[in-house]
Amino acid sequence: MLRLAALLFCGLISVAQAQLPDRPVRIVLPSPPGGTADIVARLLAETAAPHLAKGVVVDNKPGANGNIALAEAARGAPDGSTLFLCAFGPCGANPSLYPQQGFDLKKDFAGLILVGSVQNVMTVRPGLPAATLQDVLALVKARPGAISFASSGVGASNHLGPEMLRSRFGLDWVHVPYRGSGPATTDLIAGNVDVFFDNVPSILPHLRSGAVRPIAVLSAQRAPELPEVPTFAEAGVPGVVIESWFGLIAPAQVPSGTLADLNAAFGKALADPALRRRFTELGVAPLGGSAQQATDHMHAEIARWAEVIRQNGIRAE
């Protein structure tokens, strides 16, 4: 009887494991090694590996604002072995900026799980004569075409945030795109650009040193790392909430059972206390939830930023 029970138990385990890929799961990244997305992906892969049959590997495919990596993931086998780490640009802005990508993000991919979010903060160069958000808005209105804002590229959160303000307040300020937040920060410190919306973890050392000044946080709550900095709503501009986010998606043909088991495996990783502690140290709020929640979030982001891109006539460069 015990032997029969053991065989039945082993059979149940085999059935459960059959829903997972029988080869390593590959997370395709749209960014080079070393950035926040890369660190997040590698921490997640390391923690999730024991919960997957063959482990997890991270594959960096930077270039073309994330479209190279997305195309690579779209070609992946529909067995759950190829995933894509979504970020704000590739899974929010790109469908409107690049309508001829060769794939449809909403039709060709399914959400798997939300991984984490990162708060953004509006910062200014040290010499800019503005101490508050209202000061900045007044300055831009008083000096049309003279105040500049940096971004890490067309369609990034630090580009579309200022564009939201442009359409909402009729601002005439100049967009200066850079190839990444590092060069943008360098020019902000040097005084070559006036304003930069950046991820809190990236800009935090320069805020603490006084090299740049914080104005307001673009989230519903203040950033734990910047408790003295108000939110946009507290500064008198409600409705401007922009957070960078990460999430895993899979090719739409992956069976629902496989998606469910992958969601459970990565969900266990995201619940791991050590992973949550490391995420928090990086300024990343760990998330999680169902595959449907991940899908709904991605679709909502696509719709939200399509309107901003349309209103401001933004085009890929």
For strands 243-251 and 109-124, give the pairing. Answer: antiparallel
Q: Is pLDDT at 5 greater than 70 in this prediction?
A: no
Model confidence at 14: pLDDT above 70: no
Question: What's the pLDDT band for 245 if we cut at 50, 70, 90?
Answer: very high
pLDDT at 9 over 70: no
Structure tokens given for 141: 């209105």
Which residues, at least 6 apart from 63, have a Cβ–Cβ distance to it below 8 Å?
A: 69
Is the pLDDT higher at 134 or at 1? 134
Give the chain's radius of gyration (CA, Å). 21
Looking at residue 317, its pLDDT comes to 65
Does pTM top 0.85 for this prediction?
A: no
- For 102-133, the pLDDT digits (tens) are 788 999 999 999 999 999 999 999 999 999 99
pLDDT at 215: 98
pLDDT single digits (tens) 40-95: 999 999 999 999 989 999 999 888 878 889 999 998 888 999 999 998 888 998 89
pLDDT at 137: 97
Residue 265: pLDDT above 90? yes
For the cut 90, the answer to whether the pLDDT of residue 269 exceeds it is yes
Mean pLDDT (whole number) for 3-19: 46
| Mean pLDDT computed over every residue of the chain | 89
Q: Give yes or no for residue 35 having a pLDDT over 80.
A: no
Are the CB atoms for 56 and 112 separated by under 8 Å? Answer: no
In this prediction, residue 8 carries a pLDDT of 42
Q: Which of 13-22, 27-36, 84-93, 185-194 has the lowest mean pLDDT?
A: 13-22
Question: Has residue 18 got a pLDDT over 90?
Answer: no
Question: What integer is the mean pLDDT of 134-156?
Answer: 94
